[in-house]
Amino acid sequence: MTAYTTIDSPIGEILLTADGGALSRLYMAPFTLDPAWRRDDAALAEPARQLAEYFAGERTEFELELAPHGTEFQRRVWGLLLEIPFGETRTYGSLANELGNPRSVRAVGLANGRNPISIVVPCHRVIGADGTLVGYGGGLERKRTLLAHEAEVSAGFRATLW
């Protein structure tokens, strides 16, 4: 059974779901609740706590069990996203190169866009080849806010989005 909760954040309401105790989704509003899901705030207390620490500038890495649903290729791309350090960015092309197929840029972009656990699996850290902010399901303003937050925290400012 899928458990869910919602939390407030500086970038709006966030939906968290867990399957078998592992975080399976992190969606930003607007989102739709599945009637088969069961609200269980306690089951998602740890992800909620770690996200609050992230937004407060106190956490740069998440320590959560993850269960994203996707194809093998998508999971490979999402694995690369987890390797992008806090406060840094990568391009779609550099991720395609890391996968060993420089021509897979478009497929990398599509997989990035289907990331079901945004922020924790940091798809916001992927930018266009020319350094521009492109393609973020939560909206470019949220992407800009998350990257600015990480840059400030990385620079030693105890910035908080709360």
126 is catalytic: no
Structure tokens that stand for 142 in this block: 């949220």
Q: Residues 6 or more apart from 38 whose CB is under 8 A from it?
A: 1, 2, 3, 4
Q: Rounded to an integer, what distance in angstroms lies between the CA atom of residue 51 and that of residue 58?
A: 10
Nearest to 85 by CA among 64, 60, 105: 60
123, 126, 127, 146: which is the annotated catalytic residue?
123
Active site residues: 123
